[in-house]
Amino acid sequence: MSALEKRTLGKSQLEVTKLGIGLWAVGGGQWGPTDDSESLNAIDAALEAGITFFDTADVYGGGRSEELLGRAMKGRRDRFIVATKIGWVNYDGERDRTAYDTVDKLIAGVESNLTRLQTDHVDVIQSHIDHRESTMEIFVEGFQRLQDQGKVRAYGVSTSDLEYLKAFNDAGGCATLQTDYSILNRTAEAEILDYCQQNDIGVIVRGPLAMGILTGKFSSDVQFHDDDFRRRWLETPEERDIFMSDLAKVELLRPLAQGRTLAQGRTLAQLALQFVMSHPAVTLAIPGAKTEEQLRDNVGAALLPRLTTEELATIDAITPHGGGRKIWPA
């Protein structure tokens, strides 16, 4: 198998593969039931495929995702570039109540991340909230202290809000942005990706498969597990209409995916990953993978070339540049 392309993650100077793995789903909770052994096998398969970047958060499965990654890293920490996030636990965005209302509390919180991950440092720490400047200042100062202590190598923020990103990067220390970007949500193309290029901020794409919609596996009669947050797509007539519109766009994409001249073809998911990894501002994409089969499909996309001008034009006709909708609000 060919080696995965590596790219520099903004001013962090970390060399990462252009495909990583997002570990939200392996924590269970909002994605329905999971199997720890399958999740650990998927992490092993990612590592063996050459993937170096693993993204998690304190809130995923109430810490379970971090704990699983910690188990997987045991005895081979040097093979993992680890990114985690902090902020959503005990956070109330409406009233700006947060467990991390002082720098000392934030630092103690990150120490808890490190304990679950069974490591003395993380490569990237990210703010998982983006609502208030007072909270932002605490996070930036705390992250900078942790960087000075060698407990984090770089820091950034997870947001789709350009003004918040600019404020977070006011002192120039923000090395990464994690943002929602996909064929169905091209809003980042309007301004945020350009800003990242101009300011040497590495872009980590979450949601490149639009929470599974772009895999093509959903139909109009899909039923989600009771614990799966995607049930909200079916809760009201308005939400259902939006979901049906997304499914219609997926059907328009099928001929493009299947029309590839390569003998092995490509899946819809691979086309979707190719799309985000083809943008010059994007450093890497972090689709989730709960099983080895999903992981292998993702890796296959990373071995394909950038999309051609003609392919991008076809996608533009389905979802115009800068258009679409936010699949996930944060």
Catalytic residue annotation:
60
Strand partners, 165: none
**DSSP-derived secondary structure for 81-105:** EEEEEE--TT-BTTTTB-S--SHHH
Quote the CA–CA distance of 43 and 295 in Å, as a whole number.
9
Residue 212, both tokens: 């599974």
Quote the CA–CA distance of 111 and 125 in Å, as a whole number.
11
Quote the CA–CA distance of 211 and 13 in Å, as a whole number.
29
Which residues neighbour 25 within 8 Å (Cβ) at sequence distance 6 or greater?
A: 31, 34, 288, 289, 290
Say whether 140 sits in a helix, a strand or coil.
helix
Q: Give me the half-sphere count of Cα atoms (radius 13 Å) on the Cβ side of residue 9.
A: 28
φ/ψ (deg, to 5) at 179: -145, 155
Q: Give me the half-sphere count of Cα atoms (radius 13 Å) on the Cβ side of residue 186.
A: 18
Query: Angle at the Cα of 29 (from 24 to 30), degrees rounded to 5?
Result: 70
Quote the CA–CA distance of 273 and 307 in Å, as a whole number.
10
Say whether 149 sits in a helix, a strand or coil.
coil
Residue 34, both tokens: 């999971």
